[in-house]
Amino acid sequence: MSDHESTYVPKTGIEKWLDSRLPIIRFGADYMALPTPRNLNYWYTFGGILMLCLVIQIVTGIVLAMHYVPNTEMAFASVERIMRDVNGGWLIRYVHANGASMFFIAVYLHMLRGLYYGSYKAPREIIWILGCVIFFLMIATAFLGYVLPWGQMSFWGAEVITNLIGAIPLVGEPILIWLRGGPAIDNATLNRFFSLHYLLPFVIFGVVVLHLWALHTSGQNNPAGVLIPKERTAKDTLPFHPYFTVKDGFAIILFLILFALFVFYMPNALGHADNYIPANPLVTPAHIVPEWYMLPFYAILRAIPDKFGGVLAMFGAIGILFVIPWLDTSRVRSMRYRPTMKVFFVIFVIVGLGLGWCGAQLPDAPVVSGMPSFMLLDGQLNSYLWLTRLLTAYYFAFFLIIMPWVGLKETPLPVPASVSEPVLDGGIPEKKG
Amino acid sequence: MGRQGSIGAHERCDVTESVELNHDGHGGGDDATRRDFIHIAAGAAAVGAGVMMAWPLVNTMNPAADTLALSTIEFDLTKVAEGMQVVIKWQGKPVFVRYRTPAEIQEAVSTPLSALKDPQPDAERIKAGHEQYLVVIGSCTHLGCVPTFNAGDYGGWFCPCHGSHYDTSGRIRKGPAPLNLIVPTYEYISDTRVRIG
Amino acid sequence: MTIQNGTRSAVFKILASAVAALSLVAVAAPAGAAGGGAKHPRSGGFSFEGPFGTFDQAQLQRGYKVYREVCAACHGMDLMSFRNLGQPGGPFYDSHFKGGPADNPYVRVLAAEVQVADIDSETGEPIMRPATPADRFPNPYANATAAAGANGGAAPPDLSVMAKARHDGANYIYSLLSGYEPAPEGLQIAPGQYYNPYMAGDLSPFWTGDPDHVPSGGFIAMPKPLADGQVTYDDGSPQTVDQYARDVAAFIAWASDPHATERKRTGMGVLAFLFIFAGLTYASYRRIWKGIAH
């Protein structure tokens, strides 16, 4: 499974018996003994946090499914019944709803960590790609789940996003009718969305297993971005347990504190009030917005004037992530030692937050109120439409232009020869060519 | 996956495993035992957290407030004619409300307790002053079938599934059922109205 | 025990994600909340706001009275049942009634004051009978079409979750009900519409006055529903529109989130536990990592 030797030695008779039939204890013991770079910082705890989020979502989701009714006549009322009459139902529901947001906070930070430390670079391309698959499945699951309470935003968000499918030339319309199960979003749609929402998290779990398998095969990256050769295992690594189980555990508790603040004191802050209005196919809400974690992609969708172009751009913004391992030409992994790239990365984070902000605004609204402006093509220059286009341009430029170009042109800082050399031996790190 | 145990893993803190690998000799002050109190405390807190998270999940499967609200119904006794019974639904089960004739009451009262499989005097199964009305859950105490009215050898009920005979007080006389028909909690809120549950 | 750099950065990291998360709260707040020109709601000074807030039971009782006597004529609360009035945290909860809301005589009497539709148990014919605690609040209209038809095409919305269905719900409801003003000169109002400065909407197409000073607010199909002295309060509280609006807003806030107090109380316990747990785990972490170079 990995190039690390298994260190487990079964001691008792039962252990030996089981080990020769199903080496599950060996599997667990090897996992716990996994040599992990000793210089990992707290940005590396988000993997464990994400696993906890997935388990929380699945467990609370299964319990909610015992009470939820996926029928347009009863869905909204069944959710409110969970909130009012089911013992502790309000807690399970708020945990599940806010858990989705927490899941995305963690996954974005996890992905940004991967970008910063070059965790997508060889030999870890597959880990990265599997991670992108998980991210895409998460978005799909979240979209399906948001439809289930059958509020105004549920219905109209589903309406808008499924209509995008209709934008595909030639096959769009038939696929749309097949997807909805009818000419409009109705009971058939709700029922199948519920079924798929129940299914996808288990698919995510499977991909997570592959993701971890690939991680254990290539070995964990580290903030210095240096590979750890076999002979340096003792010096540069520590066993996963207890050193990183306790570190992950501590980070998880801090994460749970943030989670608890939302669930118990601001349970609806990350949602939208309009979703407490039962769905009405005849009345469109004033502003249709998806949940916050989809806002950047929603912004990109609306930035392109052509409907199908917008769909391509939106999916492209996710799709581009898959090919990052081949876009970055730098031989240095970690941006710790890539000062030029670091600047572009920070701008990228700000652009991402900016796109999220733009996604929640009306495209015609002025960015700076009162500032004189002029019409440029189809919109005022001083409008969120053009700001979004600017930010979208940077988003794609970061991957398609900056990553390849800066990798070739920049002068990186000297990379340490190994993970622990600067710390333990006091030696001067060799300059990497 | 081992991930699940990551928080509670302190309890399994394996001393031998960690000592084997080289930690540059800078181990903790007392390497004597890593099973320090603090690890046990943290581990105990982790177990506590697990239980605190598990309980609400399990409790959601307990009857919800609206289910419990339907656990009380009222019934107008004037709807039952003498010598007849009315079947009503309560908590998803049938309830027999039987208006007993004086002969049936006499039979119920005069049965010796030694003749009963589940001895219980009739007086314990009705409310004083209202001997004519018998309220029992219509579910055979053997395996739950609904007994038929005015059938069987004792003038009460007969369960067709496995042949249990109940008398005019709903007590088991013959057959595989172990207990008398259950009398639910009920009270007279007026002479002609009962509240069950 | 000093906090290591690494852990300082851990706490900063969590704080950073908290800041990011909370800034996302700002993002998630829809642009339309302030847009459209509705006046910002006034504060109703509610006892249940904030992390330590609780509902004022007397206020909830008065609020229920206002709802039942004024609002229930047009607005249903389909998700509410009479037994909810007697549940813990509710307006008529009394811990002395061990059997729960069904035992509570106030709840039984309040329910019996209202007629609900049912079927005769012998003939199957539709009848009206007094409600029991197990019954839901009856809807004034037989169906959605009847509701809209009886109100000039605009069906009065259900109030069960209204405080959650509007941004800053309780304050919004209070402001809306007590904030009716005469329409400013130059505002063209269609028949069946009324001006309210707290209602969401954009009045520019209907405004004939100075285009830089479009009045805030929008049109609402409900005329001013409250008047002084309309509802008799037995506890001596002022029988004013302002008081009625405050009380019914509190009642609707409770109906929208009946477990709010329990939620906040549980939160206190959970956070206290988590802080202690964090401390223990941090100590364990420091112990394990003592002297380890990294």
Q: Which pLDDT tens digit goes with each residue over C210-263? A: 888 889 999 999 999 999 999 999 999 999 999 999 999 999 999 999 999 999
* pLDDT higher than threshold 60 for residue C46: yes
Q: How confident is the model at residue C194 (pLDDT cuts 50, 70, 90)?
A: very high
Q: How confident is the model at residue C8 (pLDDT cuts 50, 70, 90)?
A: low
Closest Cβ–Cβ partner in A87, A239, A424 for B21: A239
CB distance C31–A258 less than 8 Å?
no
pLDDT at C11: 63
DSSP state, residue C7: H
pTM of the predicted model as reported, rounded to 2 decimal places: 0.87
Distances in Å between the alpha carbon of C254 and those of A265, A330, C156? 15, 59, 20
* pLDDT higher than threshold 50 for residue C79: yes
Closest Cβ–Cβ partner in A48, A87, A249 for B64: A87
Question: Percentage of chain C with pLDDT > 90?
Answer: 71
pLDDT at B15: 40
Neighbouring chains of B at 3+ CB pairs within 8 Å?
Answer: A, C
Between A187-218 and A172-180, two packed helices, what is the crossing angle to 10 degrees? 100
**CB burial string B100-123: b at 16+ within 10 A, e below:** beeebbebbeebeeeebeeebebe
Cβ contacts of C35 on chain A, cutoff 8 Å:
286-287, 362, 365
pLDDT at B61: 94
Neighbouring chains of A at 3+ CB pairs within 8 Å?
Answer: B, C
pLDDT at B102: 93
Q: What was the ipTM of the complex prediction? A: 0.90
Q: How confident is the model at residue C9 (pLDDT cuts 50, 70, 90)?
A: low
Question: Percentage of chain B with pLDDT > 70?
Answer: 82
Q: Residue A85's Cα: distance from chain center in Å?
A: 33
pLDDT at B23: 40
Task: Give the C window 173-202 contacts with A, CB below 8 Å.
Answer: 200
Tokens of A326: 């081949």
**Cα–Cα dist A106/A248, whole Å:** 13
Distances in Å between the alpha carbon of A91 and those of A79, A302, B65? 12, 36, 15
pLDDT, mean of residues C3-25: 60
**Cα–Cα dist B167/B152, whole Å:** 8
CB distance C24–A292 less than 8 Å?
yes
pLDDT at A84: 95
What are C86-106's pLDDT values in tens digits?
Answer: 999 999 999 888 777 877 899
* pLDDT higher than threshold 80 for residue B30: no
pLDDT at C20: 60
Cβ contacts of B69 on chain C, cutoff 8 Å:
81, 83, 101-102, 133-134
Q: How confident is the model at residue C26 (pLDDT cuts 50, 70, 90)?
A: low
Q: Is A254 on the interface with C (CB under 8 A)?
A: yes
pLDDT, mean of residues B169-174: 92
- Reading chain A (433 residues) residue by residue, the pLDDT tens digits are 445 678 888 899 999 999 999 999 999 999 999 999 999 999 999 999 999 999 999 999 999 999 999 999 999 999 999 999 999 999 999 999 999 999 999 999 999 999 999 999 999 999 999 999 999 999 999 999 999 999 999 999 999 999 988 888 899 999 999 999 999 999 999 999 999 999 999 999 999 999 999 999 999 999 999 999 888 888 899 999 999 999 999 999 999 999 999 999 999 999 999 999 999 999 999 889 999 999 999 999 999 999 999 999 999 999 999 999 999 999 999 999 999 999 999 999 999 999 999 999 998 888 888 788 888 888 888 899 999 999 999 999 999 999 999 999 999 999 988 887 755 554 444 444 4
More confident call, C101 vs B2? C101
Please report where in the chains the tokens 């039984």 appear, as a residue.
C108
Please report where in the chains the tokens 């706490």 appear, as a residue.
C11
Write down the number of H helices and E strands in chain A: 17, 4
Chain A positions with Cβ closer than 8 Å to B: 7, 27-28, 31-33, 48, 51, 55, 59-60, 63, 66-67, 81, 84-89, 91-92, 209, 212, 234-235, 238-239, 241-242, 245-246, 248-249, 252, 424
Task: Give the A window 321-380 contacts with C, CB below 8 Å.
Answer: 353, 356-357, 359-362, 365
Backbone angles phi, psi at C200, to 5 degrees: -70, 140
Most confident of B92-106, B117-131, C159-173: C159-173
**Cα–Cα dist A431/A413, whole Å:** 8
* pLDDT higher than threshold 80 for residue B2: no
- Cβ atoms C201, C217 nearer than 8 A: yes
End-to-end CA distance of chain C: 19
Give the residue on C whose Cα is nearest the Cα of B66.
C134
